[in-house]
Amino acid sequence: MTLLEVNNLKKVYATRFGGQQVQALTDVTFAVEEGEFIAIMGESGSGKTTLLNILAALDKPTGGVVKLRGKSLSEIREREMAAFRRDNLGFVFQEFNLLDTFSVQDNILLPLVLSGKSPKEMEGRLRPLAQRLGLTPLLAKFPYEISGGQKQRTAVARALITNPSILLADEPTGALDSKSSDELLSLFSQVNRDGQTILMVTHSVTAASRAGRVLFIKDGQVFHQLYRGEDGDQRFYQRINDTLTLLSAGGENRA
Amino acid sequence: MRKSLFPKLAVQNIILNRRFYFPYLLTIIGTAAAFYDIAAIAYDEGMRQLRGAEYVSMFSAIGIFIVAVFAVIFLFYTNSFLMKRRSKELGLYNILGMGKGHIALILLWESLYTAFIGIVGGLSAGVLLYKLMTLSLHRLLRLEVPFGFQISPKAMAATAILFGGILLLTLLHNLRRITVVNPIALLHGENMGEREPKTRWLLALLGILTLGGGYSLAMMTQNSQEAMVVYFLAVILVIIGTYCLFTAVSIAVLKLLRRNKKFYYQTRHFIGISGMLFRMKQNAVGLANICILSTMVLVMLSGTLSLYLGTEDVVAQRAPTDLIIRVNYDPIRGQTGPDVQALKERLSGQVASQGQEVTKLEGNYYYCFSGSGKNGTYDLYSGASMRYGSFTTFTFLTAQDYAVLTGQPVPELGEDQVLLYGIPDDSLTFTRGETLVFSFQVAEHLQAFPDVSGGMGLGMVGRPAMVVVKDQEVLHQLPRWDAEATDSYTQITYEYRMDLTGTADEKYDIWTILSDETDYTGTGQWDTLWIVSRENIYNENFGIAGGFLFLGVYLGILFLMAAVLIIYYKQISEGYEDRQRFQIMEKVGLEQREIRRSINSQVLTVFFLPLVVAAVHVAFDFRLMLQLLQIFSVTSVLPTALCTLVTLLVFAVLYAVVFALTARVYYHIVSR
């Protein structure tokens, strides 16, 4: 079943006085099936972050439609937007974005508190999730007391505790060392096997090679996509790398 | 590197950092102007010779000292805030390849510009303000308003030296900071120490104890002597308590709230409590400062204002008539006292010779002393009265005079019988230590007593009691007993109270004539004759009260300025810290409206907490203030209460305005 539909998405940024225009997204179309793990790749300035911001409803497209479970994001009123985001979307950022005033536990519980859940229900959801992500011994600590990898796991827990339809990750391994990156990606694979749909924007080929499908964005369009098929991580890594080389070579030829 | 680069960079830095530099410069200009003005008043020779203004000169000398100390502390505070904000910038210079010597040069130039703008600006503002102040001061002291501008070179030099010195010290402090610290630490200077605050139970307990101690001291004092002794201690306790309250008690309370899961896990409380915990950690000292400064402003203003407004009453009480003529004589040395009738004629004759008339003339004998103790037994030993801190001042009149003053028949009294007003005792026993000196039986308690002047015990320090004895013989006996018991005594006084026709100046002339140019031979046997004019008392009292009010308003404005500046700086630093939190919360799915509301309520709580605490301090201080005002004979409660309330209200409004203005800067930073 199709979970997320993106049709002819377009985004134009105008400079402040309306002079020059910058086309961040020209025409992006793709669909995400329930339970998929998708990586979106592209160079800096290719429009990845713009795309993610629009999917996260943090930014509005200039043209085109984004539909989640058949419902267009543009139909949601401003007032309900925050609640919609909270209930349907989970976010993981490169910079973790944990609140340093909260303990790990309270950081994870934040979205539930915002939704007005009872302490009992929070407890019920927190326990198994913390167990699964190996956060149980860290719950009482504060962000400044734990490592980068642990912070990112906390952020993942915060994203997952609302049981979101889709987990959006923006360069989740960007600020992590390779060991922590591996751990986080294994965690993503595991969560995905349990049925969680994930959409991840990344620079890293290693990270992308753990996904089930990779979309390549260039000049504001989906340029190419690769399915993992029956490939192992190693083989898939190779194919992604080859595509990237081709892409940049092709880009230069065109120019 | 070219030499001219550094002055240019320094100017650029000041302009780029204007959000921090502008208030800093304003602080220097403001405190320098304040210092110049108070010094100019203190050095003003003309002011010292002005009738009634000598107290202002005296208070200004104290003021100079207070303002100087204040300037040092305050400029250091604002400077450290400025430097903390700029540590990143300086670290960046270092990393970009500037040596520490170069940075020091930039800082030196910045300091030079700052000093120049601050001192020159401060002096100019000071000269302008001085005119304004002399105008208002003369109004306060109820004197004629002079014309023209005045400049005090001595005060200018003092200002330049003091502020040059302070700025040099801050520069040295800043230089030490950059030489000691490495560039990485400078770069990260702003984001250090995001640790969760610990609960310091001991400090919290100390806070509750000192605050409770200070408050109960204020509540337990019985009279002005005690109040005077206790006041300083109470102030110190409350100051310590306030610091502990903001640093430790607040955090302890918040942590207790956080432990209550039902309460804590609700959107508003959740963000509020955790936010407040960190806010209190960073701001506790600043908030305590604001609170203490506000309390000082409120206490000083309401106290001095009450004193000033109460002075009209005090004058009326001390000088019920235009002139008060006191004739002292010593029965122990055999003097029989003035010839009341002859003296009366001599006085009236002199008044008539000036073309004026006596419209009222009455008089009486009295004798005055104080004793410590209660329930009818009083110790005359004078040293003891101060030690016990509570004493009663007795004024003795004769039955004859009492009858004339009240227009009633002369009361029938025995040798050891008295009429008593002011205290409820049924008998009066005067002792020295264990030894009985003399005693009286109270024949009747009086419900009212005629108006007599303040020199007779009413309005004096200590509980006043009026005692009417049988006749002059008993009255003459009193100093003898007093002398036997304590080796010291005062003389008996005959007091005339006289009202005249004529203007204030004419009355003043008559006062001079009666005091210095009148021949009193043939008016009986007496020692000294002393005349008080209402005009003098008026000048004297308004001189003191006006001087106090002036100093109170002056320091009040200065402290208010400090409080405002601290609020402003706090708002800015809060803003920069909240910006990140704001953005994260938005990404995690908190509605903008909700974020704004939550942050708003936190900021409100943080900034109005000091005001509320200050108001509580003032409420507890009120009793103490009433008792202190009694020293200046201001005894009415209602006007003082009104003064306090009005001051509090005006201050609260002012505070709110400042808050609203600085909050705009805050929102600008947060929502950018």
pLDDT in tens, B262-318: 888 887 788 788 878 877 877 787 888 888 888 888 888 888 888 888 888 888 877
| Amino acid at site A44 | S
- Per-residue pLDDT in tens (0 to 9) along chain A, 255 residues: 788 999 998 888 876 666 677 888 888 899 999 999 999 998 777 788 888 888 888 788 888 899 988 888 888 887 788 788 888 888 888 888 888 888 899 899 988 888 888 888 888 999 999 998 889 999 988 888 888 889 999 999 999 998 899 999 988 888 888 888 888 999 999 999 989 999 999 888 988 999 999 999 888 888 888 898 888 888 999 999 888 888 777 654 443
Name the phi and psi angles at B323, rounded to 5.
-125, 145
Q: Which one of B191, B222, B257 terminates a domain?
A: B191
Residue B198 lies in a domain: no
Classify residue B63: in a domain, yes or no.
Answer: yes
Nearest to B292 by CA among B76, B72, B70, B79: B70
How many residues are listed for chain B in this entry? 672
Residue A78 Cα, gap to closest chain B Cα (Å) = 9
CB contact under 8 A, A101 and B594: no
- Buried b vs exposed e over B113-133: b needs ≥16 C-beta within 10 Å? bbbeebbebbbebbbeebeeb
Q: H-helix or E-strand containing A21?
A: strand A21-33
Does one domain contain both B516 and B369? Answer: yes
Sign of CA pseudo-dihedral B658, B664, B665, B666: positive
* Chain A residues inside the 8 Å CB shell of B587: 56, 58, 91, 93, 97
Inside any domain, residue B228? no
Which CA distances in Å does B351 have to B249, B358, B455?
Answer: 69, 7, 23
Chain B residues in contact with A113 by the CB 8 A cut-off are: 265-267, 270
pLDDT of res. A166 = 92
Q: Which domain holds residue B30?
A: 1-191
Strand pairing partners for B621? none
Query: Which chain A residues contact residue B195 at CB under 8 A?
Result: 142, 144
> CA-to-CA distance for B296 and A178, rounded, in angstroms?
59
Burial B26-42 (b: 16+ CB within 10 A, else e): bbbbbbbbbbbbbbbbb
A41 Cα to chain B: minimum distance (Å): 22
Test mutation, B268, B582, B588, chain A, max A CBs within 10 A: B588
Q: Is residue B298 part of a domain?
A: no
Nearest to A116 among B267, B278, B590 (CB): B267
Alpha-carbon distance of A147 to A96, in angstroms, equals: 11
Nearest by Cα to B394 from B378, B410, B411: B378
DSSP for residue B460: S
Q: Which of B485, B516, B538 is the last residue of a domain?
A: B538
Residue with tokens 């504001």: A220
* Facing B588 at nearest CB: one of A79, A100, A110: A110
Instruction: Decide if B147 is inside a domain.
Output: yes
Judging contacts by C-beta atoms under 8 Å, the chain A residues touching residue B588 are: 86, 91, 97, 110-111, 114, 158
Give B270→chain A minimum CA distance, Å.
Answer: 8
Nearest to B274 among A102, A119, A122 (CB): A102
pLDDT digits (tens, 9 = 90+) for B82-131: 887 787 777 777 777 777 788 888 889 999 999 999 999 999 999 888 88
How far, CA to CA in Å, does B392 sit from each of B178, B222, B279, B377?
64, 13, 53, 11
Pick the last residue of a domain from B538, B571, B601: B538
Distances from the Cα of B498 to the Cα of B317, B353, B530, angstroms: 14, 16, 13
B277 in reach of chain A (CB within 8 A): yes
Nearest CB among A93, A100, A103 relative to B194 is that of A100
What domain count does chain B have?
2
In a domain, B46, yes or no: yes
Q: Is residue B158 part of a domain?
A: yes
What average pLDDT is seen over chain B?
81
State whether B185 and B325 are in the same domain.
Answer: no
Rounded-to-integer distance, Cα B229 and Cα B218, Å: 11
**B544: in domain:** no
Question: Does B270 contact A110 at a Cβ distance shorter than 8 Å?
Answer: yes
- CB distance B191 to B85 below 8 Å: no
CB contact under 8 A, A116 and B266: yes
Convert the pLDDT of each residue in B33-78 to its tens digit.
Answer: 989 988 888 887 776 666 566 777 777 787 888 888 888 888 888 8
Given an 8 Å threshold on Cβ–Cβ distance, is B581 in contact with A101?
yes
pLDDT at B162: 94
